[in-house]
């Protein structure tokens, strides 16, 4: 049995933040779960993927976040408890349905998890999705501890049903990827099927309906405000003159700083876990009992500005510090020492600096950026494309493992803004720039938002080559299936959608499928696209070796070795491929036998044929 | 108990996240409050992976620069890169077997002399425990058990409120049978490196 299905209230489990969220949903009787994976949210749906065979909970990896939210909206409108998860930038993709779903509302409780990524551990930006609560008018919960991740997720479903609105549950990477002890609660049974009750004049958003629904949303916000005021996890702790406000993970840094500085008696802490709409009365009570306030919130000054507006409206003369004024930045995540320092400065306290190690004499160390794995088929495809298209061609890229093609020696990534942007930006480059354009997109990303760009390219007669890197899985986020995968090895019985047929269906006439580890043949095929007019597509098919290993889809191949008698030290293998299994032992090139998966790319690149299977 | 902050640094694929989780589980089994922080996603593709375990009355799962009591390094150069994480009087347990990054083979920088690395490390902190964890893992019968060697080395410091027996009980409860023998042996070999040597 999956550990998250353990029915023993009161017992403890050591859970990852994302597991705690999944458990909270299970305790609330969630019946319907949709998502598009993305760090740091991916392990929430992973739990449901794993336990889907043991329960009646419906789970799907949707093709993108907009689709995930709309699928979920159908279930919630039917009355099922629904969980939809995504990373922060995924909410941008889902923003269109989100804004109007707020008008229509929900019948079954709906919780939308937005997992933000301060410091951009694995993202293209660090936007603060608290603004989405303000933009949509939806209530937002922000857990601060591992226990609250579970408890507030469970309670969010009830909140959603009482307000008839989706609830946004916001986390940050540090919460998603922390582990701690969680006390389990009782589990409600999931209701997985209901009769949909028609109510078109409240659920079909023609202008006349939406004019009324906007009013409804505003009144529901008033109800949400009343609930936030009385939400027991929104609280003022202490009665001191130093006011501290924090949300999410930052609240923990405040607690530790207060302990370190030994100022518990002198502080008042305002903890806001139901942070939108802002509980005004509670905040006013807080502002009135303190002299100075430091707002500790990662990223944007959301609470700071709202508290300042509140103080102004009520004629309060309280000093509210935060971004810049409190020595806190809008950039990157915080840490306990940084927050302690900000506190000490804001309240004029001394904290003996424990002193850090002097690391000024440490030599410059070689960097260790993430890299394509040994045996990664993307390396072969990149090598072959560069052989034909060279360095001058513009290479718009996309989001996935293959974004690592940015780094030398591959250096084949020139433009990236979001999922799917490779194809559409290639249309712009092909039209505006003098060079040739070859765009790269992964299989899952192609389904996510590449298809629409391709239709645009064909219709508008743009002239470029699109390379679809089809490694049979969503590799970067942890090998989730997508519509194009062979589900058999992972016992995932869903219909398989052919990328090749889709591309042809979009109207592309020049379509090729290559097997990138057949180097010579692949290069010949790629060469045929050089002067092909219009849009050509190369689908490079080879399974991700990490996935193949874990799903046991292929027998392990023999590793390769460099024959020192034949090696003439051209080092093409090292210089052009930078495979992590290939290294220099003094002047001699060698292959790490334990790392090599036998893809034979280097053997085909070696001009001396010095690389052979062991 | 005294609060403890331990930082683990290694290279993607070395099994860093597994031992932070197991250490947390072992603490929980003894009723010691524990929080773990991990990094997933992009960082795992052969890049540097840092995780942390905090024990005791601490709310923040991450450890700021200069605040770790103990740094466990899976790779000597990465231990050096992360040394600023350790407090002045802190401890270091590190593997000495280098795993040079691919940037070195394509001529972007040179891998420092391992003796030089140890020399610098020893000047910076109270004590450095260094040993060839890769060789110990091979001796235990599996290169994959390198993480267990280092976990043994950490527990052997006798600085954490987790005994070798308690740690092994957690290992037994959480390891697939086919790996258990090698992992326990690796743990013991690591333990020997530091046990009663502080």
- Among residues A351, A390, A355, A365, the alpha carbon closest in space to that of A523 is found at A390
Alpha-carbon distance A443 to A428, whole Å?
A: 22
pLDDT tens track for B78-97: 999 999 999 999 999 999 99
What's the confidence (pLDDT) of residue A498?
98
Strands A32-35 and A82-87: parallel
pLDDT at A353 over 80: no
**φ, ψ of residue A206 in degrees (nearest 5):** -75, 160
pLDDT tens track for A42-53: 999 999 999 988
What's the confidence (pLDDT) of residue A127?
98
> Minimal Cα–Cα distance from B37 to chain A, Å?
4
What's the confidence (pLDDT) of residue B137?
97
Supply A545's token pair. 């070796």
Alpha-carbon distance B55 to A493, whole Å?
A: 43
Chain A environment of B33 (Cβ under 8 Å): 181
A538 pairs with which residues across the strands? Answer: A467, A512
- Nearest residue of A to residue B68 by CA position? A356
- Nearest residue of A to residue B37 by CA position? A178
In DSSP notation, A507-576 reads T--EEEEE-TTSHHHHHHHHHTTTT--SEEEEEEE---HHHHHHHT-SPPPPPEEE-TTT-----HIIII
pLDDT at A258 over 70: yes
Strands A178-183 and A12-16: antiparallel
Question: Which one of A43, A356, A362 has the shortest CB-CB distance to B80?
Answer: A362
Mutation target vs A (from B50, B98, B105; most A CBs, 10 A cutoff): B105
pLDDT tens track for A305-349: 999 999 999 999 999 999 989 899 999 999 999 999 999 999 999
B10 pairs with which residues across the strands? Answer: B49
pLDDT tens track for B136-189: 999 999 999 999 999 999 999 999 999 999 999 999 999 999 999 999 999 999
pLDDT tens track for A128-154: 999 999 999 999 999 999 999 999 999
Question: Which one of A40, A366, A594 has the shortest CB-CB distance to B41?
Answer: A40
What percentage of chain A exceeds 90 in pLDDT? Answer: 92
- Nearest residue of B to residue A374 by CA position? B46
**CB contact, 8 Å: B24 with chain A?**
yes
Res. A411 pLDDT band, cuts 50 70 90:
very high
What's the confidence (pLDDT) of residue A243?
98
Chain B environment of A336 (Cβ under 8 Å): 60, 62-64, 67
Chain B environment of A363 (Cβ under 8 Å): 112, 116
**CB contact, 8 Å: B125 with chain A?**
yes
Supply A26's token pair. 């299970």
Average pLDDT, chain A: 96
- Nearest residue of A to residue B102 by CA position? A580
Judged by average pLDDT, the poorest of A64-78, A105-119, A469-483 is A469-483
Chain A environment of B88 (Cβ under 8 Å): 354-357
- Helix intervals (H) in A230-322: 250-261, 280-289, 302-313
Do residues B74 and B93 make contact, with C-beta atoms less than 8 angstroms apart?
Answer: no
Question: Which one of A361, A401, A583 has the shortest CB-CB distance to B105?
Answer: A583
pLDDT tens track for A440-464: 999 999 999 999 999 999 999 999 9
Task: Taking residues A528-542, report their average pLDDT.
Answer: 96
Burial of A557 (0-12, 13-18, 19+ CB in 10 A): middle
Res. B41 pLDDT band, cuts 50 70 90:
low
What domains are there in chain A, each with its CATH number? 3-229 (3.40.50.970), 235-346 (3.40.50.920), 377-551 (3.40.50.970), 560-613 (3.30.70.20)
What percentage of chain B exceeds 90 in pLDDT? Answer: 85
Task: Taking residues A528-537, report their average pLDDT.
Answer: 96
> Minimal Cα–Cα distance from A526 to chain B, Å?
27
pLDDT at A559 over 70: yes
Supply A600's token pair. 């034979």
What's the confidence (pLDDT) of residue B42?
55
In DSSP notation, A581-609 reads TEEEETTEEEE-TTT-----HHHHH-TT-
> Minimal Cα–Cα distance from B63 to chain A, Å?
7
The better pLDDT of the pair B164, B46 is held by: B164
- State the first-to-last Cα distance of chain B, in angstroms, to the nearest integer: 19
- Helix intervals (H) in A187-279: 200-203, 207-229, 250-261
Do residues A62 and A34 make contact, with C-beta atoms less than 8 angstroms apart?
Answer: yes
Chain B (75-104) residues lying within 8 Å, Cβ to Cβ, of chain A: 77-78, 80-81, 83-84, 86-88, 100-104
CATH architecture of B4-194: 3-Layer(aba) Sandwich (3.40)
How many CA atoms lie within 13 Å of A509's alpha carbon, on the beta-carbon side? 6
pLDDT tens track for B58-68: 999 999 999 99
Q: Do A253 and B12 touch (CB under 8 A)?
A: no
Question: Which one of A121, A145, A409 has the shortest CB-CB distance to B106?
Answer: A409
What percentage of chain A exceeds 70 in pLDDT? Answer: 100
């Amino acid at each position: 049995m999956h550990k998250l299905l353990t029915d023993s209230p009161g017992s403890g489990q050591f859970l990852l933040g994302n597991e705690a969220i999944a458990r909270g949903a299970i305790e609330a009787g969630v019946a319907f779960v949709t998502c598009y994976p993305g760090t740091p949210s991916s392990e929430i749906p992973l739990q449901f993927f794993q336990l889907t065979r043991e329960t009646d909970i419906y789970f799907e990896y949707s093709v993108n976040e907009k689709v995930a939210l709309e699928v979920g909206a159908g279930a919630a409108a039917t009355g099922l408890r629904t969980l939809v998860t995504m990373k922060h930038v995924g909410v941008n993709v889902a923003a269109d349905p989100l804004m109007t779903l707020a008008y229509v509302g929900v019948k079954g409780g709906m919780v939308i998890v937005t997992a933000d990524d301060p410091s951009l551990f694995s993202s293209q930006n660090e936007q603060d999705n608290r603004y989405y609560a303000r933009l949509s008018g939806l209530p937002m919960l922000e857990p601060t501890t591992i226990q609250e991740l579970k408890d507030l997720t469970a309670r969010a479903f009830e909140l959603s049903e009482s307000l008839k609105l989706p609830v946004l549950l916001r986390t940050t990477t540090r919460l998603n990827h922390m582990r701690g002890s969680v006390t389990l609660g009782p589990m409600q049974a999931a209701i997985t099927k209901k009769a949909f009750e028609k109510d078109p004049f409240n659920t079909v958003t023609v202008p006349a309906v939406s004019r009324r629904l906007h009013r409804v949303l505003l009144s529901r916000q008033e109800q949400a405000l009343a609930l936030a005021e009385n939400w027991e996890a929104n609280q003022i702790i202490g009665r001191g003159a130093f006011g501290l406000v924090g949300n999410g993970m930052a609240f923990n840094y405040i607690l530790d700083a207060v302990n370190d500085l030994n100022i518990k008696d002198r502080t008042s802490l305002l903890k806001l876990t139901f942070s939108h709409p802002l509980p005004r009365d509670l905040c006013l009570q807080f502002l009135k009992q303190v002299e100075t306030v430091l707002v500790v919130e990662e990223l944007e000054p959301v609470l700071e500005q709202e508290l300042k507006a509140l103080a102004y409206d009520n004629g309060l003369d309280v000093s509210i510090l935060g971004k810049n004024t409190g020595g806190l930045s809008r950039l990157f995540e915080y840490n306990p020492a940084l927050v302690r320092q900000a506190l000490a400065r804001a309240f004029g306290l001394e904290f003996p600096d424990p002193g850090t190690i002097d690391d000024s004499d440490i030599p410059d160390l070689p960097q260790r950026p993430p890299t394509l794995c040994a045996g990664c088929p993307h390396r072969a495809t990149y090598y072959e494309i560069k052989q034909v298209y060279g360095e001058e061609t513009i290479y718009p890229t996309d989001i996935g493992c293959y974004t690592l093609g940015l780094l030398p020696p591959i250096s084949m990534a020139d433009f990236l803004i979001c999922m799917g942007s490779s194809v559409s930006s290639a249309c712009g480059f092909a039209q505006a720039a003098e060079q040739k354009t070859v765009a790269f997109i992964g299989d899952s990303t192609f389904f996510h938002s590449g298809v629409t760009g391709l239709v645009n390219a064909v219709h508008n007669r743009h002239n470029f080559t699109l390379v679809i890197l089809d490694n049979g899985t969503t590799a970067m986020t942890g090998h989730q299936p997508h519509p194009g995968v062979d589900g058999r090895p992972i016992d995932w019985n869903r219909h398989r959608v052919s990328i090749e047929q889709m591309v042809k269906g979009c109207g592309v006439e020049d379509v090729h499928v290559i097997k990138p580890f057949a180097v010579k043949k692949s290069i010949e095929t790629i060469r045929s696209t050089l002067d092909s007019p219009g849009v050509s597509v190369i689908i490079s098919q080879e399974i991700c070796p990490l996935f193949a290993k874990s799903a046991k889809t292929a027998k392990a191949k023999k590793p390769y070795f460099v024959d020192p008698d034949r090696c003439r030290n051209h080092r093409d293998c090292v210089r052009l491929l930078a495979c992590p299994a290939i290294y220099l032992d003094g002047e001699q090139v060698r292959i790490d036998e334990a790392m090599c998966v036998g893809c034979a790319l280097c053997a085909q690149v070696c001009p001396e044929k010095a690389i052979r299977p062991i | 108990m005294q609060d403890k902050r331990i930082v683990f640094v290694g290279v993607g694929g070395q099994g860093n996240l597994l031992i932070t989780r197991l250490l947390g589980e072992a603490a929980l089994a003894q009723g010691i409050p524990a929080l773990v922080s991990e990094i997933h996603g992009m960082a795992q593709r052969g890049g540097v992976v840092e995780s942390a375990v905090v024990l005791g009355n601490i709310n923040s799962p991450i450890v700021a620069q200069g605040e770790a009591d103990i740094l466990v390094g899976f790779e000597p150069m990465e231990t050096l890169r992360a040394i600023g994480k350790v407090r002045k009087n802190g401890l270091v347990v590190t593997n000495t077997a280098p795993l040079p990054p691919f940037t070195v083979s394509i001529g972007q920088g040179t891998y420092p002399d391992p003796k030089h690395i140890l020399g610098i490390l020893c000047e910076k902190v109270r004590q450095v425990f260094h040993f060839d964890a890769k060789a110990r893992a091979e001796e235990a019968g599996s290169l994959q058990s390198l993480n267990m060697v280092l976990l043994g080395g950490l527990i052997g410091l006798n600085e954490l409120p987790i005994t070798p027996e308690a740690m092994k009980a957690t290992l037994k409860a959480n390891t697939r049978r086919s790996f258990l023998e090698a992992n326990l042996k690796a743990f013991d070999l690591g333990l020997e490196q530091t046990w009663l040597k502080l």
